[in-house]
Structure 1
Amino acid sequence: MSSPVELQRLAVEIAREAGELAARRRHEGVSIAATKSALADIVTDADREVEALIRDRLAADRPDDGFLGEESGAGVSRSGVTWVVDPIDGTVNYAYGIPAYAVSIAAVEGEPDPASWTALAGAVFSPAVGELFQAARGEGAFLDGRRLTVTDPVSAAGALIATGFGYDPATHAGDLARLMKVMPLARDIRRMGAASLDLAGVAAGRLDGYFERGLHPWDIAAGSLLVLEAGGRVGGIGGRGPGRTMTIAAGPDLFRRLSDVITD
């Protein structure tokens, strides 16, 4: 198996190429190909084209690795490494021309389940602003060559916290009730619409913390590694790992406080 740094290098190379394709297609005009779980949960033709590019490039370079993508499902790993990919994270932003979307590519070891995998390398590329976040296990997290470090505010009501809401209207009441529990910790709230960029923001110290229910493996694979390598914590509730039930990311102290109020 290649080293995390070698996997990171490949993730960065492909994320840049995929992001440039996504940006070109955005400039040409976006067509919505389908809805998925709910009316707001859309997929564009560009999502599918960008994921196909990523999958083909990975298959050419690392044919024994597995693949788990948002649009094309899973492929079995023979090497122990699986690539977990969101071709365009923030598809609604992308479709509306809001420049908050990203290509997210991660290499993980073990089953492609965030509760049990070991993340090895990841890249989150935001083509609209030209920023590329990257990390390799044990090597730190970086934005365009600058090492990243999470913040960890200790004052009451001093944290800038991001969150998101599910596509299913039936979940919105619970999401809003949870947000009300978090508000006493917050200086303010941000809702950007792209989990990979929220996690990258925590790693970069642009956000103090982030929480969201309902995330999939491809939403968090690369971004979670960025947070961990920047000195933060990522997890769920009740000591469980991150995932569909809940994902929380922050510096160690704020992580504990968020976990306490969300679990309460």
Structure 2
Amino acid sequence: MQDTAPAPGELLEIALVVAREAADTARVMRVEGVSGVTTKSTRTDVVTAADRAVERQVLAALREARPQDTVLGEEYGDSGGPDRSAVPGAVRWIVDPIDGTVNYLYGLPQYAVSLAAEVDGVVVAGVVRNAATGDEWTATRGGGAYRAGRRLRCSTETDLGQALVATGFGYDSARRVHQARVLAQLIPQIRDIRRFGAAALDLCLAAEGAVDAYYEKGLAAWDLAAGGLIAAEAGLRVAGLAGAAAGPDLVIAAPPTLFEPLHDLLAGLDASGGP
């Protein structure tokens, strides 16, 4: 039987140490030159030697710090058995070793290590660290979201027509075609769109009000876990369509005053549809 689950703050302290060291590795490997580039789901869905090396480093560090926990990672999957998550108080870590791998490949300074801790299926602590710049966002459930010691509050914009909205696109060309159609009909009804190429960073930028809202189809757990908590703790509503939880079908992160109009617009445009 698992002991009482650790406090979110305790898990965040572990996450900070692990994510910072992982980000350092990613940055150093980028300076030394990107290598081992292969593809996954499509020919544009790249993975590098650094993605794999950073995730192995995170796995090793978490195994040393909390050997009883399990880890879900983008590159190596889930380390737990089928019944492990059902143990009361079980901690599962969710890691994206390099969110924004295409940016990493091209040397664009928007790529991040994302690490979250989940207890009984609920994300309770998370950190996103931009490995290129050192910018770092953190949150604990019920404890707020922070960047450099400053508590984050989301945008106070109330007019969707004046909202700067971030989004992203999938790797499958057919999905991109559908997403482009949605975007073409959305953009006349908002201020403008931004696309940075790293979902975790998009969520953090929404958390601090650098963009007013964010939406995207196709996010995996490692894309959403840490950034989604940071966004929610900054006051954004983070959900899917028609009362569904945020997930692969669609993620919307918007201030409460913008959520419903953005939700209804995206629903009408079939943003969760297509491939």
* Distance in 1, Cα, partners of 2:37 & 2:255: 39
Partner of 1:95: 105
- 2:255 maps to a residue whose letter is G
Query: Which residue of 172, 188, 191 corresponds with 2:192?
Result: 188
Which runs of structure 2 are paired with 1:19-38 in the superposition (5 Å)? 19-38=23-42
* Distance in 2, Cα, partners of 1:245 & 1:65: 28
RMSD: 1.2
- 1:192 maps to a residue whose letter is F
* Distance in 1, Cα, partners of 2:152 & 2:240: 23
Deviates more, 1:245-254 or 1:78-87: 78-87
What is the DSSP-based 3-state SS (H/G/I as helix, E as strand, rest coil) of the residue aligned with 1:49? Answer: helix
Query: Which residue of 36, 43, 51 corresponds with 1:47?
Result: 51
Query: Which residue of 248, 252, 256 corresponds with 2:252?
Result: 248
Partner of 1:144: 148
Partner of 1:113: none
Gap regions ≥5 residues in structure 2: 269-275
- 2:238 maps to a residue whose letter is V
Deviates more, 1:215-224 or 1:151-160: 151-160
- Does residue 231 of structure 2 align to residue 227 of structure 1? yes
* Distance in 2, Cα, partners of 1:156 & 1:241: 22
* Distance in 2, Cα, partners of 1:7 & 1:120: 8
Query: Which residue of 92, 111, 117 corresponds with 1:107?
Result: 117
Q: CA deviation at 1:33?
A: 3.1
* Distance in 2, Cα, partners of 1:239 & 1:156: 20
Partner of 1:122: 126
What is the DSSP-based 3-state SS (H/G/I as helix, E as strand, rest coil) of the residue aligned with 2:226? Answer: helix
**Is the 1:156–1:185 contact (alpha carbons within 8 Å) kept by the matching residues of 2?**
yes
* Distance in 1, Cα, partners of 2:243 & 2:184: 22
The structure having more radius of gyration, on CA atoms, is 2
Query: Which residue of 44, 68, 73 corresponds with 2:72?
Result: 68
Gap regions ≥5 residues in structure 1: 111-116
**Number of residue pairs matched by the alignment:** 258
Write the deviation string for residues 141-196 of structure 1: whole angstroms up to 9, x where unpaired: 00011110001311241011001111000112210122133224421110100000
TM norm structure 1: 0.95
- 1:71 maps to a residue whose letter is E
Partner of 1:80: 90
Percent of residue pairs identical: 47
What is the DSSP-based 3-state SS (H/G/I as helix, E as strand, rest coil) of the residue aligned with 1:157? Answer: helix
- 2:194 maps to a residue whose letter is R
Query: Which residue of 211, 215, 220 corresponds with 1:211?
Result: 215
* Distance in 1, Cα, partners of 2:160 & 2:201: 25
* Distance in 2, Cα, partners of 1:127 & 1:74: 24
Q: CA deviation at 1:204?
A: 0.8
Write the deviation string for residues 83-115 of structure 1: whole angstroms up to 9, x where unpaired: 0100000000001100100000001123xxxxx
Runs (4+) of structure 1 exceeding 2 A deviation are none
**Is the 1:159–1:185 contact (alpha carbons within 8 Å) kept by the matching residues of 2?**
no
